Amino acid sequence: MALPDFLVIGAPKAGTTALHTALAGHPELFMSPVKEPKFFLTDGPPPRRGGGPGDVQTYREHIWRREDYEALFDAAPPGALRGESTPFYLYDRQAQRRIRALIPAVRMIAILRDPVERAHSNWTHLWSAGLDPIGDFPAACAAEDRRVEEGWALFWHYTRLGRYGEQLDHLLHLFPREQAFILRYRDLVDSPGPSLDGICGFLGVQPGIVSEVPRENVTAHPERSPSHRAVSGVLRAAAGAGRHLPGTAGTALTQPLERFLHRDARPRQPLTWEQRQQVLAYVEDDFRLLEKVTEADCADWQQPRDRSGGLVGSRPEGQAQARNGQPAASGAGEAPGGQGD
């Protein structure tokens, strides 16, 4: 059986795409050519309908057949550790149980990002892509309960995805603590070499081989403007029409519009303290549990940020938003263009 030895399990918009690409450069590791196969998110086929714009196209990315999932790792060199990165595994309790049932000895890597900054990057990702019709971040978070009730996909769970205490507490009741490596996103950005060496030590491969984390999946932040509203409306309509088209044909409808929205877009813009306080209200009650589970201090997440907004600068020239769930264009083991900021 060709199943993974380790998983990058979360969180979304916390550098998982960049980490996937960095680890693919280690000769003792083999990363799946499809980043984010989402195999453990369902038992059998994913849903055929979605509540949010673009959800159906996302569900079509799932590699849910076991033979297709195992085939992702067929090209791994003898002796190499096999890995994949699906950042929703940390959030989805059923996914955690499925992992435990199939690969109970697996090692898992979780990257924790300031949950308000993570949610803001998440919203900016979808708003800049023309999918979220709400152009105000706190207002989009306020709509989350309704969207969850209506069955919108996991990537729309802006604040819930940042309740790491609950997620890790569940995970560590299923797996021994030594099978989980927990890293802060800020450390990955500020000290990539030591962070990568820590991960290599956890996996039992030679440190000092990979030292750089590439700028992948950098979020663009277009201006709020009449043209953005107009093009976004067309894009959401095209995403709706794409539900009725086979395969990736729906994505072909929306990609040119998304590229238009991202022309000359700025890096993600800083949050005000007022905005931050509004969104903190959804997550700060989880911090005490997180501190208990990780024995780490979360006090800095309850304060104004010295660095809010995009931490890795503008999106590299020629790079588009990452298209997960598809084979990398540049070769096996590399993620498609998209440091999750």
| Residue range 150-159, pLDDT digits in tens | 999 999 999 9
Q: What pairs with residue 182 in β-bridges? A: 110
Rounded CA gap, 113 and 127, in Å? 20
Q: How much is the pLDDT for 305? A: 86
Give the confidence band of 20 by pLDDT, cuts at 50, 70, 90: very high
Please state the rounded mean pLDDT for residues 139-163.
97
The 3-state secondary structure of the chain reads CCCCCEEEEECCCCCHHHHHHHHHCCCCEEECCECCCCHHHCCCCCCCCCCCCCHHHHHCCCCCCHHHHHHCCCCCCCCCEEEEECCCCCCCHHHHHHHHHHCCCCEEEEEECCHHHHHHHHHHHHHHCCCCCCCCHHHHHHCHHHHHHCCCCHHHCCCHHHCHHHHHHHHHHHCCHHHEEEEEHHHHHHCHHHHHHHHHHHHCCCCCCCCCCCCCCCCEECCCCHHHHHHHHHHHHHHHHHCCCCCCHHHHHHHHHHHHHCCCCEECCCCCHHHHHHHHCCCHHHHHHHHHHHCCCCHHHHCCCCCCCCCCCCCCCCCCCCCCCCECCCCCCCCCCCCCC
Q: Are 229 and 55 in contact (CB under 8 A)?
A: no
Q: Which tokens in the block code for residue 332? A: 């096996």
166 or 314, which is more confident: 166
User: In degrees rounded to 5, what are phi and psi of residue 171?
Assistant: -60, -45
Q: What is the pTM of this model?
A: 0.85
What's at 124, amino acid-wise? Answer: T
What are the C-alpha distances in Å from 266 to residues 111, 130, 203, 259, 270? 25, 15, 37, 14, 11
Please state the rounded mean pLDDT for residues 271-290.
97
Q: How much is the pLDDT for 336? A: 28
Q: What pairs with residue 112 in β-bridges? A: 184
pLDDT at 339 over 50: no
Please state the rounded mean pLDDT for residues 115-123.
96
- CB contact set of 207 (below 8 Å; sequence gap of 6+): 196, 197, 200, 201
Q: Which of 29-43, 170-184, 202-216, 260-274 has the lowest mean pLDDT?
A: 260-274
Q: Which of 43-52, 208-217, 271-280 has the lowest mean pLDDT?
A: 208-217
Q: How much is the pLDDT for 325? A: 54
Share of the chain above pLDDT 70, in %: 80
End-to-end CA distance of the chain: 35
| Residue range 282-317, pLDDT digits in tens | 999 999 999 999 999 999 999 998 888 776 555 555
Q: What is the CA radius of gyration of the chain?
A: 19
| Residue range 167-219, pLDDT digits in tens | 999 999 999 999 999 999 999 999 999 999 999 999 999 999 999 988 665 66
Location of structure tokens 């989009």: 140
Nearest to 266 by CA among 310, 309, 221, 296: 221
Q: How much is the pLDDT for 228? A: 74
Q: How much is the pLDDT for 273? A: 95
Give the confidence band of 57 by pLDDT, cuts at 50, 70, 90: confident
275, 310, 87, 326 alpha-carbon torsion, rounded to 10°: 130
Q: How much is the pLDDT for 317? A: 55
Rounded CA gap, 45 and 26, in Å? 33
Give the confidence band of 21 by pLDDT, cuts at 50, 70, 90: very high
Q: Which tokens in the block code for residue 163? A: 């309740």
Rounded CA gap, 34 and 64, in Å? 13
Q: How much is the pLDDT for 262? A: 64
How many whole angstroms from its chain centre is CA 292? 25
pLDDT at 104 over 60: yes
Q: How much is the pLDDT for 333? A: 34
Q: What average pLDDT is seen over the chain?
A: 87
Q: Are 45 and 64 in contact (CB under 8 A)?
A: yes
